[in-house]
Structure 1
Amino acid sequence: MPELPEMENYKNLLKDKIANQVVTDVQINRDKSININPDLFKKTVQHQQIVDIKRRGKHLLFQLKNEQTLLLHLMLGGWMFFGTESEKPNRTIQVRLSFGQNHLYFIGLRLGYLHLYNQTQTEEKLSDLGPEPLNPEFTVNEFLKRIASKHGRLKTTLLDQSFIAGIGNCYSAEICFQAGIKPTKDIDDINDSDRSRLYDSMKNVLQDGIKHGGYMDNPIFKGDTLTGGFNNRCQVYNREGQPCYRCGATIVIEVISSRKTYYCPNCQS
Protein backbone atom coordinates (compact mmCIF):
# COMPACT_ATOMS: atom_id res chain seq x y z
CA MET A 1 0.00 0.00 0.00
CA PRO A 2 1.39 3.45 -0.87
CA GLU A 3 2.48 5.39 2.20
CA LEU A 4 3.67 8.95 2.78
CA PRO A 5 6.88 8.74 0.68
CA GLU A 6 5.07 7.10 -2.26
CA MET A 7 2.30 9.68 -2.28
CA GLU A 8 4.76 12.56 -1.87
CA ASN A 9 6.74 11.19 -4.81
CA TYR A 10 3.57 10.90 -6.90
CA LYS A 11 2.61 14.44 -5.95
CA ASN A 12 5.98 15.87 -6.97
CA LEU A 13 6.12 14.00 -10.28
CA LEU A 14 2.52 14.75 -11.22
CA LYS A 15 2.93 18.45 -10.48
CA ASP A 16 5.47 18.57 -13.30
CA LYS A 17 3.03 16.80 -15.62
CA ILE A 18 -0.43 18.22 -14.97
CA ALA A 19 -0.25 21.28 -12.69
CA ASN A 20 -2.14 24.13 -14.41
CA GLN A 21 -3.31 21.74 -17.12
CA VAL A 22 -7.00 21.43 -18.08
CA VAL A 23 -8.89 18.14 -17.85
CA THR A 24 -10.13 17.61 -21.41
CA ASP A 25 -12.03 14.38 -20.82
CA VAL A 26 -13.13 12.07 -18.00
CA GLN A 27 -13.72 8.34 -18.35
CA ILE A 28 -15.33 6.30 -15.57
CA ASN A 29 -15.07 2.53 -15.99
CA ARG A 30 -16.03 1.60 -12.44
CA ASP A 31 -18.73 3.62 -10.70
CA LYS A 32 -17.72 2.32 -7.26
CA SER A 33 -14.36 4.07 -7.54
CA ILE A 34 -16.09 7.45 -7.33
CA ASN A 35 -18.66 8.79 -4.86
CA ILE A 36 -21.29 10.58 -6.95
CA ASN A 37 -23.27 10.05 -10.13
CA PRO A 38 -20.79 9.50 -12.99
CA ASP A 39 -22.46 12.14 -15.20
CA LEU A 40 -22.24 14.73 -12.43
CA PHE A 41 -18.64 13.72 -11.73
CA LYS A 42 -17.73 14.23 -15.40
CA LYS A 43 -19.63 17.51 -15.64
CA THR A 44 -17.89 18.90 -12.56
CA VAL A 45 -14.35 17.78 -13.43
CA GLN A 46 -14.19 18.09 -17.22
CA HIS A 47 -12.77 21.37 -18.59
CA GLN A 48 -11.42 22.27 -15.15
CA GLN A 49 -7.83 23.32 -14.54
CA ILE A 50 -5.72 21.44 -11.98
CA VAL A 51 -4.56 24.42 -9.94
CA ASP A 52 -2.57 22.43 -7.37
CA ILE A 53 -1.77 18.94 -6.10
CA LYS A 54 -1.28 18.43 -2.38
CA ARG A 55 -0.75 15.48 -0.08
CA ARG A 56 -2.28 14.77 3.32
CA GLY A 57 -1.16 11.54 4.95
CA LYS A 58 -1.67 8.80 2.35
CA HIS A 59 -4.09 10.94 0.31
CA LEU A 60 -3.52 13.11 -2.75
CA LEU A 61 -5.68 16.18 -3.29
CA PHE A 62 -6.16 17.39 -6.87
CA GLN A 63 -7.51 20.91 -6.46
CA LEU A 64 -9.64 22.21 -9.32
CA LYS A 65 -10.24 25.75 -10.55
CA ASN A 66 -13.91 25.53 -9.48
CA GLU A 67 -12.77 24.96 -5.85
CA GLN A 68 -13.70 21.29 -5.92
CA THR A 69 -11.16 18.65 -4.86
CA LEU A 70 -10.49 15.17 -6.17
CA LEU A 71 -9.47 13.19 -3.10
CA LEU A 72 -7.43 10.09 -3.93
CA HIS A 73 -6.61 7.16 -1.68
CA LEU A 74 -4.95 4.28 -3.52
CA MET A 75 -5.34 1.76 -0.69
CA LEU A 76 -4.04 -1.77 -1.33
CA GLY A 77 -3.09 -2.44 -4.95
CA GLY A 78 -3.81 1.01 -6.35
CA TRP A 79 -1.42 2.98 -8.53
CA MET A 80 -1.32 5.57 -11.31
CA PHE A 81 0.21 5.97 -14.73
CA PHE A 82 0.54 9.11 -16.86
CA GLY A 83 1.06 8.89 -20.60
CA THR A 84 -0.47 8.29 -24.00
CA GLU A 85 -2.89 5.51 -24.91
CA SER A 86 -0.06 3.53 -26.52
CA GLU A 87 2.12 3.82 -23.39
CA LYS A 88 -0.44 2.76 -20.80
CA PRO A 89 0.11 -0.56 -18.99
CA ASN A 90 -2.01 -3.56 -19.92
CA ARG A 91 -4.13 -3.31 -16.80
CA THR A 92 -7.77 -2.58 -16.02
CA ILE A 93 -8.37 1.16 -15.75
CA GLN A 94 -11.02 2.30 -13.28
CA VAL A 95 -10.83 6.06 -13.96
CA ARG A 96 -9.06 8.10 -16.63
CA LEU A 97 -8.48 11.85 -16.66
CA SER A 98 -7.35 13.19 -20.03
CA PHE A 99 -5.07 16.13 -20.72
CA GLY A 100 -5.09 16.27 -24.51
CA GLN A 101 -3.13 13.30 -25.86
CA ASN A 102 -1.87 12.36 -22.39
CA HIS A 103 -3.96 10.67 -19.74
CA LEU A 104 -3.74 10.02 -16.02
CA TYR A 105 -4.82 6.42 -15.46
CA PHE A 106 -6.04 5.23 -12.07
CA ILE A 107 -5.38 1.51 -11.78
CA GLY A 108 -6.30 -1.07 -9.16
CA LEU A 109 -8.92 1.08 -7.42
CA ARG A 110 -10.81 -1.92 -6.04
CA LEU A 111 -10.37 -0.76 -2.47
CA GLY A 112 -9.13 2.74 -3.25
CA TYR A 113 -11.14 5.68 -4.50
CA LEU A 114 -11.17 9.01 -6.32
CA HIS A 115 -13.87 11.09 -4.66
CA LEU A 116 -15.10 14.56 -5.50
CA TYR A 117 -15.69 16.98 -2.62
CA ASN A 118 -16.02 20.68 -1.94
CA GLN A 119 -13.59 22.32 0.46
CA THR A 120 -15.70 21.77 3.58
CA GLN A 121 -16.31 18.10 2.75
CA THR A 122 -12.60 17.56 2.08
CA GLU A 123 -11.65 19.02 5.45
CA GLU A 124 -14.22 16.79 7.15
CA LYS A 125 -12.91 13.67 5.44
CA LEU A 126 -9.36 14.42 6.58
CA SER A 127 -10.21 15.77 10.04
CA ASP A 128 -9.32 12.56 11.88
CA LEU A 129 -5.75 12.45 10.60
CA GLY A 130 -2.88 13.12 12.95
CA PRO A 131 -0.03 15.56 12.27
CA GLU A 132 2.28 15.34 9.29
CA PRO A 133 5.53 13.79 10.57
CA LEU A 134 7.76 15.90 8.30
CA ASN A 135 6.09 19.19 9.16
CA PRO A 136 8.71 21.44 10.82
CA GLU A 137 6.13 22.29 13.46
CA PHE A 138 5.94 18.64 14.49
CA THR A 139 8.85 18.80 16.92
CA VAL A 140 10.33 16.09 19.10
CA ASN A 141 8.54 17.63 22.08
CA GLU A 142 5.22 17.35 20.27
CA PHE A 143 6.01 13.74 19.38
CA LEU A 144 6.91 12.90 23.00
CA LYS A 145 3.73 14.55 24.18
CA ARG A 146 1.56 12.53 21.78
CA ILE A 147 3.22 9.19 22.39
CA ALA A 148 2.99 9.67 26.17
CA SER A 149 -0.77 9.15 25.90
CA LYS A 150 -0.44 5.91 23.93
CA HIS A 151 -0.23 2.33 25.17
CA GLY A 152 0.12 -1.06 23.54
CA ARG A 153 2.47 -2.28 20.81
CA LEU A 154 4.69 0.27 19.06
CA LYS A 155 3.83 -1.13 15.62
CA THR A 156 0.10 -0.64 16.17
CA THR A 157 0.62 2.96 17.30
CA LEU A 158 2.78 3.89 14.30
CA LEU A 159 0.08 2.55 11.98
CA ASP A 160 -2.62 4.63 13.69
CA GLN A 161 -3.39 7.45 11.24
CA SER A 162 -4.93 9.56 14.01
CA PHE A 163 -1.59 9.41 15.87
CA ILE A 164 0.63 10.39 12.93
CA ALA A 165 -0.51 10.54 9.31
CA GLY A 166 1.11 8.61 6.47
CA ILE A 167 3.07 5.77 8.06
CA GLY A 168 2.18 2.21 7.07
CA ASN A 169 3.58 -1.29 7.18
CA CYS A 170 6.82 -0.70 5.29
CA TYR A 171 8.04 2.49 6.92
CA SER A 172 6.98 1.52 10.45
CA ALA A 173 9.31 -1.48 10.13
CA GLU A 174 12.15 0.61 8.72
CA ILE A 175 11.74 3.34 11.34
CA CYS A 176 11.88 0.82 14.18
CA PHE A 177 14.95 -0.83 12.67
CA GLN A 178 16.87 2.44 12.38
CA ALA A 179 15.91 3.31 15.95
CA GLY A 180 17.02 -0.11 17.19
CA ILE A 181 13.63 -0.83 18.78
CA LYS A 182 11.50 -3.90 18.17
CA PRO A 183 8.11 -2.98 16.69
CA THR A 184 6.62 -5.62 19.00
CA LYS A 185 7.69 -3.68 22.08
CA ASP A 186 5.09 -2.13 24.37
CA ILE A 187 5.20 1.67 24.37
CA ASP A 188 5.16 1.76 28.17
CA ASP A 189 8.51 -0.08 28.11
CA ILE A 190 10.20 2.51 25.86
CA ASN A 191 12.08 5.26 27.71
CA ASP A 192 12.24 8.90 26.66
CA SER A 193 15.70 8.55 25.14
CA ASP A 194 14.53 5.74 22.87
CA ARG A 195 11.37 7.66 22.05
CA SER A 196 13.46 10.63 20.94
CA ARG A 197 15.59 8.31 18.81
CA LEU A 198 12.40 6.91 17.30
CA TYR A 199 11.38 10.45 16.32
CA ASP A 200 14.74 11.07 14.61
CA SER A 201 14.50 7.74 12.79
CA MET A 202 11.00 8.59 11.59
CA LYS A 203 12.21 11.84 10.06
CA ASN A 204 15.27 10.25 8.46
CA VAL A 205 13.54 7.19 7.03
CA LEU A 206 10.60 9.10 5.56
CA GLN A 207 12.88 11.72 3.99
CA ASP A 208 15.07 8.97 2.53
CA GLY A 209 11.97 7.23 1.22
CA ILE A 210 10.89 10.39 -0.61
CA LYS A 211 14.38 11.04 -1.94
CA HIS A 212 14.49 7.60 -3.53
CA GLY A 213 10.93 7.52 -4.89
CA GLY A 214 9.31 5.23 -2.33
CA TYR A 215 9.31 1.45 -2.30
CA MET A 216 6.50 0.70 -4.80
CA ASP A 217 8.12 0.15 -8.15
CA ASN A 218 5.42 0.71 -10.79
CA PRO A 219 6.74 3.68 -12.81
CA ILE A 220 4.30 6.56 -13.01
CA PHE A 221 5.31 7.48 -16.56
CA LYS A 222 7.51 6.11 -19.33
CA GLY A 223 11.14 6.78 -18.48
CA ASP A 224 10.45 7.23 -14.75
CA THR A 225 13.67 6.08 -13.04
CA LEU A 226 12.92 7.48 -9.58
CA THR A 227 9.77 5.68 -8.44
CA GLY A 228 10.48 2.51 -6.46
CA GLY A 229 14.12 3.34 -5.72
CA PHE A 230 13.68 2.84 -1.99
CA ASN A 231 12.68 -0.81 -2.46
CA ASN A 232 16.32 -1.93 -2.58
CA ARG A 233 17.13 0.23 0.44
CA CYS A 234 14.71 -1.54 2.79
CA GLN A 235 16.64 -3.00 5.71
CA VAL A 236 13.98 -5.32 7.12
CA TYR A 237 10.67 -4.89 5.30
CA ASN A 238 9.73 -7.97 3.27
CA ARG A 239 13.14 -9.54 4.02
CA GLU A 240 12.16 -12.37 6.37
CA GLY A 241 14.68 -15.20 6.41
CA GLN A 242 17.41 -13.02 4.91
CA PRO A 243 20.53 -11.79 6.74
CA CYS A 244 20.51 -8.38 8.38
CA TYR A 245 22.72 -5.97 6.43
CA ARG A 246 24.05 -4.59 9.72
CA CYS A 247 24.83 -7.68 11.83
CA GLY A 248 24.09 -10.77 9.72
CA ALA A 249 21.33 -12.13 11.95
CA THR A 250 18.23 -13.53 10.24
CA ILE A 251 15.35 -11.10 9.76
CA VAL A 252 12.19 -12.44 11.39
CA ILE A 253 8.51 -11.84 10.78
CA GLU A 254 5.65 -11.67 13.26
CA VAL A 255 1.99 -10.74 12.87
CA ILE A 256 0.67 -7.89 15.02
CA SER A 257 -2.94 -6.78 14.67
CA SER A 258 -3.15 -8.78 11.42
CA ARG A 259 -0.17 -6.92 9.95
CA LYS A 260 3.14 -8.52 9.01
CA THR A 261 5.95 -7.12 11.11
CA TYR A 262 9.63 -7.43 10.25
CA TYR A 263 12.66 -6.85 12.47
CA CYS A 264 16.19 -7.95 13.30
CA PRO A 265 16.21 -9.86 16.62
CA ASN A 266 19.81 -8.83 17.23
CA CYS A 267 19.88 -5.14 16.24
CA GLN A 268 16.52 -4.32 17.77
CA SER A 269 15.60 -4.73 21.42
Structure 2
Amino acid sequence: MPEWPEMETYRQQLSPLVCGLTIRHVDVNREKTINEPAEAFQAALTGRKIMFVERRGKHLLFHLDDGNRLLLHLMLGGYLYYGPHAEKDESRFQVIFTFEDGNKLFFGGLRLGYLHRITAKTALERFREIGPEPFDPRLTEEAFVAMLDKKRGKLKPALVDQKWIAGIGNFYSDEICFEAGVVPFADIPSLSDGTKRNVYRAMRKVLTEAAEAGGYMDQKLTAADTFTGGFAERCRVYGREGEPCSRCGGTIRMETVSSRKMFYCPSCQGTN
Protein backbone atom coordinates (compact mmCIF):
# COMPACT_ATOMS: atom_id res chain seq x y z
CA MET A 1 0.00 0.00 0.00
CA PRO A 2 1.42 3.43 -0.90
CA GLU A 3 2.54 5.35 2.19
CA TRP A 4 3.82 8.85 2.95
CA PRO A 5 6.84 8.80 0.57
CA GLU A 6 4.89 7.27 -2.32
CA MET A 7 2.01 9.73 -2.06
CA GLU A 8 4.41 12.64 -1.63
CA THR A 9 6.23 11.45 -4.75
CA TYR A 10 2.93 11.42 -6.64
CA ARG A 11 2.07 14.89 -5.37
CA GLN A 12 5.38 16.38 -6.43
CA GLN A 13 5.40 14.77 -9.86
CA LEU A 14 1.71 15.30 -10.67
CA SER A 15 1.52 18.96 -9.71
CA PRO A 16 3.41 20.40 -12.69
CA LEU A 17 1.69 17.93 -15.04
CA VAL A 18 -1.98 18.51 -14.24
CA CYS A 19 -2.37 21.78 -12.33
CA GLY A 20 -4.09 24.47 -14.38
CA LEU A 21 -5.35 22.03 -17.01
CA THR A 22 -9.00 21.58 -17.88
CA ILE A 23 -10.55 18.11 -17.72
CA ARG A 24 -12.21 17.56 -21.10
CA HIS A 25 -13.49 14.03 -20.64
CA VAL A 26 -14.02 11.53 -17.82
CA ASP A 27 -14.30 7.76 -18.23
CA VAL A 28 -15.67 5.70 -15.37
CA ASN A 29 -15.17 1.96 -15.82
CA ARG A 30 -16.05 1.02 -12.25
CA GLU A 31 -18.77 2.99 -10.52
CA LYS A 32 -17.94 1.55 -7.09
CA THR A 33 -14.69 3.52 -7.20
CA ILE A 34 -16.57 6.83 -7.02
CA ASN A 35 -19.21 8.10 -4.61
CA GLU A 36 -22.02 9.13 -6.96
CA PRO A 37 -23.61 7.92 -10.23
CA ALA A 38 -21.12 7.90 -13.08
CA GLU A 39 -23.15 10.37 -15.12
CA ALA A 40 -23.21 12.89 -12.28
CA PHE A 41 -19.49 12.43 -11.62
CA GLN A 42 -18.63 12.92 -15.28
CA ALA A 43 -20.86 15.97 -15.67
CA ALA A 44 -19.47 17.60 -12.52
CA LEU A 45 -15.83 17.16 -13.55
CA THR A 46 -16.00 17.88 -17.28
CA GLY A 47 -14.73 21.43 -17.83
CA ARG A 48 -13.18 21.69 -14.36
CA LYS A 49 -9.57 22.60 -13.71
CA ILE A 50 -7.26 21.06 -11.14
CA MET A 51 -5.81 24.02 -9.27
CA PHE A 52 -3.34 22.16 -7.07
CA VAL A 53 -2.61 18.78 -5.55
CA GLU A 54 -2.38 18.33 -1.80
CA ARG A 55 -1.29 15.31 0.21
CA ARG A 56 -2.67 14.39 3.64
CA GLY A 57 -1.26 11.21 5.10
CA LYS A 58 -1.83 8.46 2.52
CA HIS A 59 -4.42 10.54 0.63
CA LEU A 60 -4.19 12.92 -2.30
CA LEU A 61 -6.58 15.85 -2.58
CA PHE A 62 -7.12 17.39 -6.02
CA HIS A 63 -8.41 20.95 -5.51
CA LEU A 64 -10.84 21.92 -8.27
CA ASP A 65 -11.63 25.39 -9.58
CA ASP A 66 -15.24 25.13 -8.35
CA GLY A 67 -14.06 24.79 -4.73
CA ASN A 68 -14.68 21.05 -4.47
CA ARG A 69 -12.09 18.34 -3.94
CA LEU A 70 -11.29 14.92 -5.33
CA LEU A 71 -10.20 12.64 -2.51
CA LEU A 72 -7.97 9.75 -3.62
CA HIS A 73 -6.97 6.81 -1.45
CA LEU A 74 -5.09 4.13 -3.38
CA MET A 75 -5.31 1.48 -0.65
CA LEU A 76 -3.74 -1.88 -1.54
CA GLY A 77 -2.80 -2.20 -5.20
CA GLY A 78 -3.76 1.30 -6.37
CA TYR A 79 -1.54 3.37 -8.65
CA LEU A 80 -1.54 6.30 -11.09
CA TYR A 81 -0.28 6.65 -14.65
CA TYR A 82 -0.05 9.80 -16.78
CA GLY A 83 0.41 10.09 -20.53
CA PRO A 84 -1.39 10.27 -23.89
CA HIS A 85 -2.24 6.56 -23.68
CA ALA A 86 -1.75 3.62 -21.34
CA GLU A 87 0.55 0.70 -21.93
CA LYS A 88 -2.34 -1.73 -21.43
CA ASP A 89 -6.06 -1.95 -22.11
CA GLU A 90 -7.53 1.34 -20.88
CA SER A 91 -10.76 -0.39 -19.85
CA ARG A 92 -8.80 -1.98 -17.01
CA PHE A 93 -8.45 1.42 -15.32
CA GLN A 94 -11.27 2.36 -12.97
CA VAL A 95 -11.28 6.09 -13.85
CA ILE A 96 -9.56 8.08 -16.61
CA PHE A 97 -9.31 11.86 -16.97
CA THR A 98 -8.52 13.29 -20.40
CA PHE A 99 -7.08 16.81 -20.28
CA GLU A 100 -7.20 19.64 -22.80
CA ASP A 101 -3.66 18.88 -24.01
CA GLY A 102 -4.56 15.28 -24.88
CA ASN A 103 -2.77 13.69 -21.94
CA LYS A 104 -4.64 11.42 -19.57
CA LEU A 105 -4.48 10.58 -15.88
CA PHE A 106 -5.24 6.90 -15.28
CA PHE A 107 -6.45 5.65 -11.90
CA GLY A 108 -5.66 1.95 -11.68
CA GLY A 109 -5.90 -0.85 -9.16
CA LEU A 110 -8.71 0.82 -7.22
CA ARG A 111 -10.55 -2.35 -6.25
CA LEU A 112 -10.17 -1.37 -2.62
CA GLY A 113 -9.29 2.29 -3.10
CA TYR A 114 -11.55 5.16 -4.12
CA LEU A 115 -11.80 8.54 -5.85
CA HIS A 116 -14.55 10.63 -4.26
CA ARG A 117 -15.81 14.09 -5.19
CA ILE A 118 -16.42 15.98 -1.95
CA THR A 119 -16.81 19.52 -0.68
CA ALA A 120 -14.04 21.44 1.05
CA LYS A 121 -16.01 21.20 4.30
CA THR A 122 -16.30 17.43 4.00
CA ALA A 123 -12.55 17.20 3.38
CA LEU A 124 -11.84 19.11 6.58
CA GLU A 125 -14.20 16.87 8.52
CA ARG A 126 -12.59 13.71 7.09
CA PHE A 127 -9.12 14.76 8.16
CA ARG A 128 -10.04 15.83 11.67
CA GLU A 129 -9.82 12.16 12.60
CA ILE A 130 -6.33 11.75 11.15
CA GLY A 131 -3.26 12.26 13.31
CA PRO A 132 -0.47 14.80 12.73
CA GLU A 133 1.85 14.66 9.76
CA PRO A 134 5.35 13.28 10.46
CA PHE A 135 6.85 16.62 9.46
CA ASP A 136 4.27 18.91 11.04
CA PRO A 137 6.32 21.69 12.70
CA ARG A 138 4.23 21.18 15.82
CA LEU A 139 5.28 17.54 16.02
CA THR A 140 8.58 18.23 17.71
CA GLU A 141 10.71 15.55 19.30
CA GLU A 142 9.30 16.51 22.69
CA ALA A 143 5.73 16.35 21.40
CA PHE A 144 6.35 12.93 19.84
CA VAL A 145 7.78 11.54 23.06
CA ALA A 146 4.81 12.92 24.96
CA MET A 147 2.47 11.17 22.52
CA LEU A 148 4.30 7.87 23.02
CA ASP A 149 4.20 8.34 26.79
CA LYS A 150 0.40 8.17 26.60
CA LYS A 151 0.36 5.16 24.27
CA ARG A 152 0.07 1.50 25.26
CA GLY A 153 0.60 -1.68 23.28
CA LYS A 154 3.27 -2.51 20.69
CA LEU A 155 5.33 0.02 18.78
CA LYS A 156 4.47 -0.95 15.20
CA PRO A 157 0.67 -0.80 15.65
CA ALA A 158 1.12 2.71 17.03
CA LEU A 159 3.21 3.84 14.08
CA VAL A 160 0.67 2.54 11.55
CA ASP A 161 -2.35 3.95 13.40
CA GLN A 162 -3.53 6.76 11.10
CA LYS A 163 -5.45 8.39 13.94
CA TRP A 164 -2.21 8.65 15.90
CA ILE A 165 0.16 9.73 13.11
CA ALA A 166 -0.57 10.06 9.41
CA GLY A 167 1.09 8.35 6.47
CA ILE A 168 3.11 5.44 7.89
CA GLY A 169 2.19 1.85 7.05
CA ASN A 170 3.63 -1.65 7.23
CA PHE A 171 6.66 -0.99 5.05
CA TYR A 172 8.06 2.14 6.65
CA SER A 173 7.17 1.24 10.23
CA ASP A 174 9.60 -1.69 9.99
CA GLU A 175 12.25 0.45 8.31
CA ILE A 176 11.85 3.09 11.03
CA CYS A 177 12.17 0.54 13.80
CA PHE A 178 15.32 -0.86 12.17
CA GLU A 179 16.86 2.60 11.87
CA ALA A 180 16.00 3.28 15.53
CA GLY A 181 17.44 -0.06 16.64
CA VAL A 182 14.28 -1.37 18.28
CA VAL A 183 12.07 -4.34 17.41
CA PRO A 184 8.65 -3.40 15.98
CA PHE A 185 6.85 -5.51 18.58
CA ALA A 186 8.47 -3.74 21.55
CA ASP A 187 6.06 -2.74 24.34
CA ILE A 188 5.77 1.04 24.27
CA PRO A 189 5.69 1.48 28.09
CA SER A 190 9.02 -0.36 28.28
CA LEU A 191 10.79 1.99 25.88
CA SER A 192 13.38 4.34 27.34
CA ASP A 193 13.19 8.06 26.69
CA GLY A 194 16.26 7.74 24.49
CA THR A 195 14.67 5.03 22.36
CA LYS A 196 11.53 7.09 21.88
CA ARG A 197 13.67 9.95 20.66
CA ASN A 198 15.53 7.58 18.35
CA VAL A 199 12.21 6.47 16.85
CA TYR A 200 11.27 10.10 16.15
CA ARG A 201 14.61 10.82 14.47
CA ALA A 202 14.46 7.55 12.54
CA MET A 203 10.94 8.37 11.30
CA ARG A 204 12.01 11.67 9.84
CA LYS A 205 15.25 10.27 8.41
CA VAL A 206 13.70 7.21 6.75
CA LEU A 207 10.72 9.07 5.29
CA THR A 208 12.94 11.86 3.96
CA GLU A 209 15.36 9.43 2.33
CA ALA A 210 12.51 7.38 0.87
CA ALA A 211 10.77 10.42 -0.62
CA GLU A 212 14.04 11.72 -2.06
CA ALA A 213 14.56 8.33 -3.71
CA GLY A 214 11.02 8.06 -5.13
CA GLY A 215 9.53 5.61 -2.62
CA TYR A 216 9.35 1.85 -3.08
CA MET A 217 6.48 1.35 -5.58
CA ASP A 218 7.54 -0.02 -8.94
CA GLN A 219 4.68 1.43 -11.02
CA LYS A 220 6.04 4.40 -12.96
CA LEU A 221 3.95 7.55 -13.21
CA THR A 222 4.96 8.26 -16.82
CA ALA A 223 6.73 6.35 -19.59
CA ALA A 224 9.87 8.43 -18.99
CA ASP A 225 9.75 8.16 -15.20
CA THR A 226 13.11 6.97 -13.83
CA PHE A 227 12.53 8.33 -10.32
CA THR A 228 9.60 6.38 -8.87
CA GLY A 229 10.55 3.26 -6.94
CA GLY A 230 14.18 4.16 -6.30
CA PHE A 231 13.96 3.32 -2.61
CA ALA A 232 12.93 -0.31 -3.16
CA GLU A 233 16.50 -1.53 -3.47
CA ARG A 234 17.54 0.49 -0.44
CA CYS A 235 15.06 -0.91 2.08
CA ARG A 236 16.89 -2.78 4.81
CA VAL A 237 14.43 -5.17 6.43
CA TYR A 238 10.94 -5.14 4.92
CA GLY A 239 10.40 -8.16 2.68
CA ARG A 240 13.97 -9.37 3.25
CA GLU A 241 13.28 -12.40 5.44
CA GLY A 242 16.25 -14.76 5.48
CA GLU A 243 18.66 -12.21 4.01
CA PRO A 244 21.74 -10.92 5.88
CA CYS A 245 21.35 -7.70 7.85
CA SER A 246 23.16 -4.81 6.16
CA ARG A 247 24.21 -3.47 9.55
CA CYS A 248 25.43 -6.49 11.52
CA GLY A 249 25.30 -9.48 9.20
CA GLY A 250 22.58 -11.22 11.19
CA THR A 251 19.61 -12.86 9.50
CA ILE A 252 16.46 -10.83 8.91
CA ARG A 253 13.44 -12.47 10.50
CA MET A 254 9.73 -12.14 9.85
CA GLU A 255 7.12 -12.69 12.54
CA THR A 256 3.38 -12.22 12.54
CA VAL A 257 1.83 -10.42 15.49
CA SER A 258 -1.92 -9.77 15.51
CA SER A 259 -2.10 -10.74 11.81
CA ARG A 260 0.53 -8.12 10.97
CA LYS A 261 3.88 -9.05 9.42
CA MET A 262 6.94 -7.57 11.08
CA PHE A 263 10.46 -7.72 9.60
CA TYR A 264 13.45 -7.09 11.84
CA CYS A 265 16.99 -8.16 12.70
CA PRO A 266 17.07 -10.03 16.03
CA SER A 267 20.84 -9.49 16.27
CA CYS A 268 21.00 -5.69 16.29
CA GLN A 269 17.50 -4.44 17.10
CA GLY A 270 16.98 -4.20 20.83
CA THR A 271 13.70 -4.06 22.74
CA ASN A 272 14.03 -0.80 24.68
- The 8 Å contact of residues 82 and 88 in structure 1, kept in 2 or not, is answered as no
Q: How far apart are the structure 1 equivalents of 2:89 and 2:189?
A: 49
Aligned to 1:230: 231
Residue 75 of structure 2 corresponds to residue 84 of structure 1? no
How far apart in 1 are the matches of 2:155 and 2:18? 39
Question: What stretches of structure 1 move > 6 A for 4+ residues in a row?
Answer: none
SS in 1 for 2:268: coil
1:84-108, CA deviations, whole angstroms, 9 ceiling, x for partnerless residues? 12x4345710000111311000001
Q: Deviations over 1:26-71 (max 9, x none)?
A: 1100000000111111111111110010000000000000001000
How far 1:144 moved relative to its partner? Answer: 1.0
Pairing of 1:62-101 with structure 2 (within 5 A): 62-85=62-85, 87-90=86-89, 92-100=92-100, 101=102
Secondary structure at the counterpart of residue 63 of structure 1: strand
Paired residues of 1:49 and 1:65 also in contact (CA < 8 A): yes
What is the CA–CA distance in structure 2 between the aligned matches of 1:225 and 1:19, rounded to whole Å?
21
Q: Which amino acid aligns with 1:13?
A: Q
1:21 aligns with 2:21: yes
TM-score (normalised: structure 1): 0.98
Say whether the 8 Å CA contact 1:240–1:250 is kept in structure 2: yes
Q: Partners of 1:226 and 1:257 in 2: how far apart?
A: 35
Contact persistence 1:155–1:256 (CA under 8 A): no
C-alpha deviations, 1:139-188, integer Å up to 9, x for none?
A: 01110111111101101111100110000001000000000000011001
After superposition, the CA RMSD in angstroms is 1.0
- 1:156/1:256 contact within 8 Å kept: no
Q: Is residue 2:258 matched to residue 1:257?
A: yes
> Cα distance, 1:136 vs. partner?
2.2
- Identify the residue that residue 202 of structure 1 maps to in structure 2: 203
Whole-angstrom CA distance in 2 between matches of 1:225 and 1:258:
35
How high is the TM-score relative to the length of structure 2? 0.97
**Structure 2 equivalent of residue 123 of structure 1:** 124
Partner of 2:177: 176
Paired residue type of 2:54: K
Alpha-carbon deviations, 1:88-132, whole Å to 9, x = none? 345710000111311000001000000010011111122210000
Q: Distance in 2 between matches of 1:204 and 1:185?
A: 20
1:7 paired residue number: 7
Equivalent residue, structure 1, for 2:268: 267
Structure 2 SS opposite 1:24:
strand
CA distance in 1 between partners of 2:255 and 2:146 (Å): 28
Please name the residue that 2:248 is paired with: 247
**CA distance in structure 2 between the partners assigned to 1:218 and 1:163 by the alignment:** 29
| Local SS of the residue matching 2:94 | strand
SS in 2 for 1:244: coil
| Residues 62, 71 of structure 1: 8 Å contact kept | yes
Return the alpha-carbon distance in structure 2 between the equivalents of residues 30 and 230 of structure 1: 32
Q: How many pairs were matched up?
A: 268
2:130 is the counterpart of 1:134:
no
Distance 1:79 1:236 in 2: 24
Q: Which runs of 5+ in 1 are unaligned?
A: none
Say whether the 8 Å CA contact 1:26–1:96 is kept in structure 2.
yes
> Kindly, what percent of the aligned residue pairs are identical?
46
Unaligned runs of 5+ in 2: none
Task: Check the 8 A contact 1:81/1:88 in 2, yes or no.
Answer: no
The amino acid across from 2:201 in the alignment is D
